[in-house]
Each structure stands twice: as structure tokens, then as C-alpha cells.
Amino acid sequence: MVSDCFRQRLVLSTLSGKRVKIPNIRSKDDNPGLRDFEASFIRLLDKVTNGTRIEINQTGTVLFYQPGLLYGGSVEHECNVQRSIGYYLEALLMLAPFVKSPLRAVLKGVTNDPTDPSVDLLKVTAIPLMKKFGIDGDGLEIKVLKRGMAPAGGGEVLFTCPVRRSMKPVQLTEPGKIKRIRGTAFSVRVSPQMSNRIVDSARSILNKFIPDIYIYTDHMKGASSGKSPGFGLTLVAETVNGTFLGAEVVSTPQGQGDPVLPEDLGRNCAKLLLEEVYRGGCVDSTNQSLALLYMTLGQQDVSKSLLGPLSPYTIEFLRHIRDFFQIMFKIEQQKPGEDEQKGGEKVLMTCVGAGYSNISKTIK
């Protein structure tokens, strides 16, 4: 939780231009100070900005961060294998539209692990969400060049994003009914049959609800399969209004805990997707904070978004938005209706954008 809070504050500091001092980083722990993956994250921020000042004390328990200008351009970064590329990519998704020259980032490390959102999940849920805020065009994509499973990594991901002057306000209030389910079952350095077993078990649950299901199998071989064995499944449900709700499960990393059967993994992932559909809303739980940030940075107009129950990560993020941008959200609880809105309790988030404008964007 410390590292999530740390990451949120550094991203918001970079966007708002306000310096931030973070004291007492794990000062009560047996092993105090910054972890390697957090130091790697600071290095990545340093690469996408120009003129950032970073000061860390000798024990690594106090960090002073004075953000520079968001520059972007072509970046290559070796991510620490303690966390997956998703940990770093989530921050880049928040910063990328506001850089000076379009971002082209090559991130190397672990593509799928059990703790962070994987690259596949962000590809199928975050990209469509960004398009709703007016970030579109040919330049927006996340591409998995090589897969790398925990613990050794070896994966490679390309993320490109166009630059925008400002965000358009959105009204995401109607999630709509689920019309189809898509997914990717991947396996690296294990038998290709694993993917098929995952697909069969996931379909055995999902077929009861909807016929339009297609799960691709992705078996990478040789150099593009990374350094560790593993398999996993990413599922995404698409609604008639273009809302994407995602879920994923990855096998236990080699040498950590009990191995998992592909059949169990497929079933678990299908149940997690059903859980996500039950939570509902126009944005899935992984991307709540991304949507709220784009709403905060929008033009000075009202934005609304219907979300499922807020995750602890999102609640913390809302507090940081208040501290850095002085933007407060109006939060209305929506009780599940009799006919349409079945599922969990929803929250309608409303705010007036801060009118944030990308000052560094070059005018051609």
C-alpha cells in the first residue's frame, strides 16, 4: 500500500508541477527505505521529464521530488522484476497525453504477475477508456513484443500515445448490457495444451450466460517467451454502450507457493469476470483512478461517471487529487434498481474539471 500511495503522489506532483516531500518511507520496518522497484519507478519519471530534481537521504526513508517539464519522446526502461510492467505502465497512461512530444516507451521486465494489472488487461480496458476522453488516433497502442513471467521477467512492451491539448468532459452514466466476451489465454515455456485447457474451463462457466465468447490462445516460443514458465488468462466483457470490464488470473510464479491447475485458473478468472460485471459501472475497478484523473484534468465543464464500489486504491487517489488539484468529487450512491441496474451498489462521481491544459505541447 505504501508504494501505491507513493506512486500516486509522484504522478500527481508531476502533472500539477507541485514539489512533494515524502518522509518516513517504511521507517518502522525492519528493512526501511525505498524498494528497488520504487527507485526504478523514479528513474522512469526522470526519463519522461526534463529538469526533475530528486533528492533521497542516505537511508532512503525521505524523498524530495521537484517535477520538471513533461517531455516524453522515445524512452526505453528496464523495469524492476519485483513488480510487473503494469505498475509502471499505469503511471505512463496518466502522464502520456500531457507530454511535449508523443511518447514511445519500450518497457522491459515482467509482463504478467499476480499483484499488478497485466499489460494485456490494460490493453483491452484502459485503451478504450482513453478513447472516450478524446485520446485516439493511430498512435495509441500497447503492444506485447515479448512475454516475461515472474520471477525472472524477460518481457518487452511497446506503448505509444499521441499528445492532447486538453481532455474533453465525459458523461459515462449508462454502462449498458453485456453483448460479448473476449479473452486471451497465454502460455510460455510450458505445453501449448495449457492454453486450451484454460479456455475450456473458462467457457464451461461463461457459456451459461452468453453465447458470443471468443478466447484467443497465445503461445510464445523461443526468445519472445521470456525467462520463466507460466500461463494465465485475461477476459474482457464488452457492453452495447462500449464499456469494457476486465478480469485476469496468472499462474503462481515458479518457486513461490503451490502450483495452480489450468482448469482452476480458467474457472477462477471466469468467476472474477462475473464479479466485475456484478460490480458494474462504466469503468472497471482497475481503471477507476485513471478515469477520475482524466475527469479532474478535463475542461472546466461537468463530467460524470458511474462506477462500481470504489476500491481502497481509488479512495486514496481521490484524497491525493484533492491535495494536488483542489478538486472534490460529488459522490452519490445509486441503489440497484428493480429492472435495469442489477448488481452491486454503484456510485455516481461528478466533478468540474480543473481546466488543465498541456502547456508543453508543440504547436505545428
The string of pLDDT tens digits covering residues 146-192 is: 999 999 999 999 999 999 988 999 999 999 999 999 999 999 999 99
- Cα 212 to Cα 173: distance, rounded to the nearest angstrom: 25
pLDDT by residue for the chain (364 residues), tens only, comes to: 577 889 999 999 999 999 999 998 988 888 888 999 999 999 999 999 999 999 999 999 999 999 999 999 999 999 999 999 999 999 999 999 999 999 999 999 999 999 999 999 999 999 999 999 999 878 999 999 999 999 999 999 999 999 998 899 999 999 999 999 999 999 999 999 999 999 999 999 999 999 999 999 999 999 899 999 999 999 999 999 999 999 999 999 988 889 999 999 999 999 999 999 999 899 999 999 999 999 999 999 999 999 999 999 999 999 999 999 999 999 999 876 655 557 888 999 999 999 998 877 666 5
Nearest to residue 138, comparing CAs of 162, 122, 157? 162
Q: Left (φ > 0), alpha (ψ -120 to 50) or beta: where does 127 sit?
A: alpha
Nine cell digits for residue 308: 462500481
Q: Check: CB of residue 33 under 8 Å from CB of residue 25.
A: yes
- Cα 47 to Cα 54: distance, rounded to the nearest angstrom: 12
Q: Provide the terminal-to-terminal Cα distance of the chain, rounded to the nearest Å.
A: 42
- Could you give the domains of the chain? 5-173+283-352 (3.65.10.20), 178-278 (3.30.360.20)
> Among all chains, which residue has been given the C-alpha cell 476500491?
311
The reported pLDDT for the residue numbered 195 is: 95
Task: Supply the pTM of this predicted model.
Answer: 0.95
- Cα 213 to Cα 207: distance, rounded to the nearest angstrom: 8
Q: Left (φ > 0), alpha (ψ -120 to 50) or beta: where does 313 sit?
A: alpha
- Cα 99 to Cα 359: distance, rounded to the nearest angstrom: 9
Q: For residue 151, say if its preceding peptide bond is cis, omega within 30 degrees of 0.
A: yes
Nearest to residue 44, comparing CAs of 3, 8, 80, 16? 80
The reported pLDDT for the residue numbered 363 is: 62
The reported pLDDT for the residue numbered 293 is: 97
Q: Check: CB of residue 41 under 8 Å from CB of residue 122.
A: no
Residue 260 phi/psi, 5° resolution?
-115, 145
Is residue 263 packed enough to be buried (19+ CB in 10 Å), middle (13-18) or exposed (0-12)?
A: middle
Q: Check: CB of residue 143 under 8 Å from CB of residue 157.
A: yes
The reported pLDDT for the residue numbered 338 is: 52
> Among all chains, which residue has been given the C-alpha cell 459522490?
331
Beta bridge partners of 87: none
